[in-house]
Structure formats: C-alpha cells, structure tokens
Amino acid sequence: MKNHSQPRQWNLRDQTGRTEAEWGILIQDLKRQTGLSTLTLRVCVLRGLETAAAIEAYLCPRFENLTHPFQIRDMDRAVDRLVQSRNKSERIRIFGDYDVDGTTGAALLFWMFHEFGFELKNIDVRQPDRFKDGYGLNIGAVEAAVQEGVHVLVTVDCGITSFEAASRAQELGLELIIVDHHQLDLGKGLPPAHSVINPQRADCESGLKQLCGCGLAFYLAMALRSRGRQEGWFLQGGEPNLKKHLDLVVIATAADMVPLIGDNRILVRYGLEVLKHSQKPGVKALMDAAGLGSKDLSPSHLGFVLGPRINASGRMQSASLALELLTTMDSLRAADLAFELERLNEERAIIQNQIWDEIRIRVEQGLAQGKYRNGIVVADSKWHEGVVGIVASRVTETFRKPAAVIALREDLGKGSVRSFGGKDVLAALRACSSTLIGFGGHRHAAGLSLSLDRVEEFVKAFDQALEKIEFDSQGGALFVEGACSLEEFSVQNLQELERLGPFGPGNPEPVFTVTAKVKHHRVLKGRHLKLSLAAFEGGASLKQGSEIEAIWFHAAEREDILSGELMAGGREWAAVPELNRFRGQMTPTLRVRDWRSIEVG
C-alpha cells in the first residue's frame, strides 16, 4: 500500500511555559522527593502533577475517596423502588446493551441482586440483538417484559434516548429505571421513567460524567447495599464485598474509552488487582482462553485482549454468550463459552482484515483519481455490519481523513463514522440528514442508516458537509513527551510508568522519541513489523547492548516502509514503551507509532 497521506505532525507536549533550565530544576527536585526516574517524572509533570504530594496521591488512589453514590441524581428513587421490589418479590428484568459496557454492567447487576437476597426466579437479563433490534431499549422488549410479568425494568448502558420505548412502558404500567452514561437529547430532555441515573443530567451535581455504564451500575450496587444494611438484609459478617466485582468494571471502563481520571482512576487501579485474582468462573476462563495468566496481565490487555473477546459475541452472533459467560457459576460451562468466544473473536479478526484489505485498495485507487477530498465513504453488500466500526477507525488512522464504512443489507445500509483532525462528524451527519434514515453518536464517532438508493447522494453530501467544517491541525497530531535514550527503557522505569496507567482518554499513553537504526526485522502475519532497534547517533551505532525489540502494527502494509528506507541508516522513532510479560518474565519493548528522518540542526 502506498502512503498517500502527508507526514504526521509531531508536537511536544506543553511544558507549562517553563524554560529548559526551570524544567530541569523541577525534575531534579521531584526526583529527590519521590525517588522516581526522570522518565516517569517527565510524564507526571506533563499531566499536571507538579508536586510530590500530587504524584503520591495519583500513584496511590484510595478507594474511600470514591464519590458517595447518593450524590447521583435519582439514585435514592431507584434504590427505594428496588427495595420495594425485594420486599414484594416482584419480577425484575435487567436490560443491557450488547457491547462490553452493557454486557459487563448487566452481569454486575445480576450478581448484585443474587448477593443481596433477591429471589433468583424473579431476576433475569435481556439484551438487544445488534442485527434484528439495533441499539438500545425498544418497544418490542418493553411489550415482551410486560407479557412475561416483569414489574421493574432496569436498563444498563442504554435507555437515555429511548423515548418511544419509555413512553410505551409508561402506558403499560412497567416501572423503568434507566442507568445510562450517554449524552441526553438536549431537545427532548429525559425520557419518561421512574428514575434516571445519568450523571450527564444538567441537574446532577455528582461530577461523575466520566463513568461508563458498568461503572454506574457499580454505584447503584453501592447505594443499594447501603440501604440493605439499614434494612437488615445482611447477617453479621455476611455483607457482600462489592470490590470483587471491580473485575467487570475495569474491563468495561477500559473498553468504553471513558476518561481515566477522578473516580474512574480509582476504580481501574483497584479493579486491575481484582481482575488478576478474579473468582468468577467466566472471567477466569476468558483469561485462560486468551492465554493470560495473572502474572502476565497488564493494563494494555484490558482494551486489546479481553474487551474484543467480549465484544465478539455481540458483533458476530449474540451478546447473550458473553453475558452467560460473565454470570455462570459453572466452571466447565465457562470454559466452553470462553472457547466459543475465542473462536468468534478469531472469526471477527479474519472478516475485519478481509474488509480492510478491500477498502484499502479501493481508497488508494480513489485517492489516485482525486476522490475523497474531505472524507472517505465506502459501502458494500459483502461487509459484516458487526465490524464496520473497527474498520472505519483503521481507515481514519491510515488515510487521515474522516471516514464512513457502510454495510449494505437487502433493505438498507448501516454504517459507522469516525472523525479525524478534530472534524465533528455528528455535525456533518446533521448537515446531510435528508439523505439518511437515522443517525446518532458524538463528534468523534457516530452511526447511521440509509436507504440503498441514497448511498451516492450521501457520499456527495457528506463530503460537502465536511468541507465546511474546520479542520483542526492539532487533532491529527502525534503528541510526544520528548526525546530519551533506549537505556532509559529499563524494567524498573517501565514498571513506574505502568503505575501512571491505565492509559486512555484523559490520561494519554506516553509516547517518547528515540534515535535508532533497524538491525533486524521480520513481517508478522503479512501485516505487522517486528523490529530490533539499536541506538544510533551521529551516523554510527552506539555501544553494544543498546538495543530493544519493537512492534509496529500494520506497517508491513505500507510500501514506503518496506522499501529500502527501513534499513537505511538511523531514523527518529515515536513509540510507546511497554513491558512484555511472558511466563513471569518482563522484557522492555516499544510499540511504534510513527517514524521520520533525523532532523539536522
């Protein structure tokens, strides 16, 4: 594949206006007080942690500092209604979305009801089918609940924009408790419901807008346990330990890409330790099937290994497989389910790569012909709608333009849209809404549906809409922490860096620049590059031993990299340092993000 995009801009993270001398004094002062490495302290200061006390508080978050759950609007109403349901032995149905967040959140509430003494015969869980029902709570699910004698319906990770379904529930006398973290429809406000637990509400002063759906479910569990304590539900010494369910919360928080700050950071730090020693048969089986032992588990595995396997259930088949895995108490059944999820994830990866290969060729040809001036829209009847979102992200990362990837069915097209360069894709969809059946999402990612005979019209309208939206040159830039040497990537230093994670929105992963030469390389699976990098300075390799292994995902798909450039002298590399764990051993590695010629002068 040829590289049709302009070289990516590298920006040094803001050093808060300090001179190099002031910067050096601050780092040395913090080094004396904390004992941390220069590498780690650079990242700390660039994240606004400029005192030893602030760094200590960040590295050692305290569980007791979590926001009190009853600070969330409507939490008291929801808890009162659930207490009433328990006392009256009413039927409760949990309705969770089909992605990682909704599935883990539904599983957490199932465990909560079980441990809080609700009769299991009165508790069940349902999820929408991605392909038949689409996203969120629907009228059919409401009517089915009423027909089956459900008294209270609790949504997780959906419901905040399900106005028709909520109105139908109200008509039929079904009490609705919405637990959702998504943005409200500012024009319509809140859907009719008994209680709406959503920190995005304008009248909610909890400050917990960063929580994911499963995280909100955990706060509901904390609040209900508090009330249960007052109600005398638990025998002395028998109060449920909710911390053991943080394994579900940490998986969801990482997968849903919510900001890893505030309460989320506390939940994730404790959750990672719980996950390593999870007692849930399904979680243990999931890690075993993925080849992860507790000693090998690292924060990066949350989003790249565990999340995709849970998501594969809803993407390729039915989310009920993953839900059963996370709620089963049978170890043998858990092993079978985990094996099936592993198979579905492998199938997902194959289909995803096939679609990507087709799109890559099509877009390359289109760019050569002058197409896709402002954005990329591709559609095909052979593409699986369960993976178009993943592929759309790859398209934007590779070609550095907003992209829409659409799977065409017999009746309509369903697609995913991703932003690049700060362009608001939701605003673009609004501008061409006359060509669509429906759309939704936010400025960085959205979904759409359209009639088959409107595809070409949408292609033109979307491109025109993007042309009118301002491009943010910083939006596509790669932000780096600064230059360092390969010797600084020691096991000890990288262990320190890991304590600053997990990384994600609000806490970006640290990217450092190094000057190095490729000593050896090999292609993995026809797509990726495994590299051996040696320190390089002034036209010569440095002392023996200044080497490190690196992985560059999808680099083997680019002709400019596989040409003679790869082995041609030293280059400047932007990479994320990581610890590779295997059989209890830790080895420093780099995950390459970009490269460029060495700047002279």
Q: pLDDT for 148-184, tens place per residue?
A: 999 999 999 999 989 999 999 999 999 999 999 988 8
pLDDT for 367-422, tens place per residue?
A: 999 999 999 999 999 999 889 988 999 999 889 899 999 999 888 999 999 998 88
When pLDDT is averaged across residues 37-51 and rounded to a whole number, the result is: 93
Report how far residue 317's alpha carbon sits from residue 535's, in angstroms, rounded to the nearest whole number. Answer: 47
Q: Which residue has the higher pLDDT, 289 or 599?
A: 289
Please spell the DSSP secondary structure of 294-306, one letter per residue: TTT--THHIIIII
Question: Taking the model in full, what pTM does it have?
Answer: 0.86
Instruction: Determine, yes or no, domain membership for 267.
Output: no
By CB atoms closer than 10 A (0-12, 13-18, 19+), residue 483 is exposed
When pLDDT is averaged across residues 16-36 and rounded to a whole number, the result is: 90
The SS3 assignment for 530 reads strand
Chain centre to alpha carbon of residue 235: 39
Shared domain for 566 and 533, answered yes or no, is: yes
% the chain with pLDDT above 70 = 94
List 126's β-bridge partners, or say none: 95
Shared domain for 49 and 75, answered yes or no, is: no
Our separate counts of H helices and E strands in the chain read 20, 19
Shared domain for 137 and 173, answered yes or no, is: yes
pLDDT for 71-104, tens place per residue?
A: 999 999 999 999 999 999 999 999 999 889 999 9
Give the phi and the psi of residue 178 in degrees, each rounded to 5. Answer: -100, 125
When pLDDT is averaged across residues 54-75 and rounded to a whole number, the result is: 94
Q: What is the CA radius of gyration of the chain?
A: 25
CATH number, domain of 591, equals 2.40.50.460
Residue type for 132, please?
K
Question: What contacts 494, CB < 8 A, 6 or more positions away?
Answer: 577, 578, 579, 586, 588
Please say if the pLDDT value at position 7 is more than 60.
yes
Shared domain for 435 and 554, answered yes or no, is: no
Residue-level pLDDT at 4: 54
Instruction: Determine, yes or no, domain membership for 200.
Output: yes
- Crossing angle between the packed helical segments 281-289 and 307-316, to the nearest 10 degrees: 100
Please say if the pLDDT value at position 336 is more than 50.
yes
Cis peptide before 502 (omega within 30 of 0): yes
Please say if the pLDDT value at position 581 is more than 90.
no
Boundary (domain end) residue, out of 467, 488, 504: 467
Shared domain for 535 and 459, answered yes or no, is: no
Instruction: Determine, yes or no, domain membership for 23.
Output: yes
Query: For the chain, what is the domain count?
Result: 3
Please say if the pLDDT value at position 534 is more than 80.
yes
- Crossing angle between the packed helical segments 320-327 and 307-316, to the nearest 10 degrees: 140
User: What ranges make up the beta strands (E) of 231-375?
Assistant: none
Shared domain for 519 and 409, answered yes or no, is: no
When pLDDT is averaged across residues 286-314 and rounded to a whole number, the result is: 78
Residue-level pLDDT at 477: 83
Q: Residue 151 is part of which domain span?
A: 69-239
Instruction: Determine, yes or no, domain membership for 567.
Output: yes
Confidence category of residue 251, pLDDT binned at 50, 70, 90: very high
Residue-level pLDDT at 514: 94
Instruction: Determine, yes or no, domain membership for 367.
Output: no
Instruction: Determine, yes or no, domain membership for 322.
Output: no
Residue-level pLDDT at 18: 82
Instruction: Determine, yes or no, domain membership for 141.
Output: yes
Instruction: Determine, yes or no, domain membership for 581.
Output: yes
Confidence category of residue 6, pLDDT binned at 50, 70, 90: low
List 196's β-bridge partners, or say none: 178
Shared domain for 488 and 382, answered yes or no, is: no
Boundary (domain end) residue, out of 467, 496, 525: 467
Shared domain for 49 and 81, answered yes or no, is: no
Residue-level pLDDT at 565: 67
Please say if the pLDDT value at position 248 is more than 50.
yes
pLDDT, mean over the chain: 89
Residue-level pLDDT at 1: 54
Shared domain for 180 and 88, answered yes or no, is: yes
Q: Which two tokens mark 495?
A: 């262990």
Q: Which residue has the higher pLDDT, 446 or 211?
A: 211
Label each residue of 166-229 as H, E or C.
HHHHHHHCCEEEEECCCCCECCCECCCCCEEECCCCCCCCCCCCCCCHHHHHHHHHHHHHHHHH
Q: Which residue has the higher pLDDT, 564 or 598?
A: 598
Shared domain for 432 and 518, answered yes or no, is: no
Shared domain for 463 and 481, answered yes or no, is: no
Question: What contacts 434, CB < 8 A, 6 or more positions away?
Answer: 461
CATH number, domain of 191, equals 3.90.1640.30
Report how far residue 425's alpha carbon sits from residue 444's, in angstroms, rounded to the nearest whole number. Answer: 6
* Residue of 314, 313, 290 whose CA lies nearest to 302: 290
Shared domain for 122 and 235, answered yes or no, is: yes
Confidence category of residue 459, pLDDT binned at 50, 70, 90: very high
CATH number, domain of 433, equals 3.10.310.30
Helix, strand, coil tally for the chain in percent (to 5): 45, 20, 35
Residue-level pLDDT at 218: 98
283 with 244: CB under 8 angstroms? Answer: no
Residue-level pLDDT at 601: 46
Q: Which two tokens mark 457?
A: 């019209």
293 with 287: CB under 8 angstroms? Answer: yes
pLDDT for 541-576, tens place per residue?
A: 545 558 899 999 988 887 777 766 666 678 899 999
Boundary (domain end) residue, out of 432, 467, 502: 467
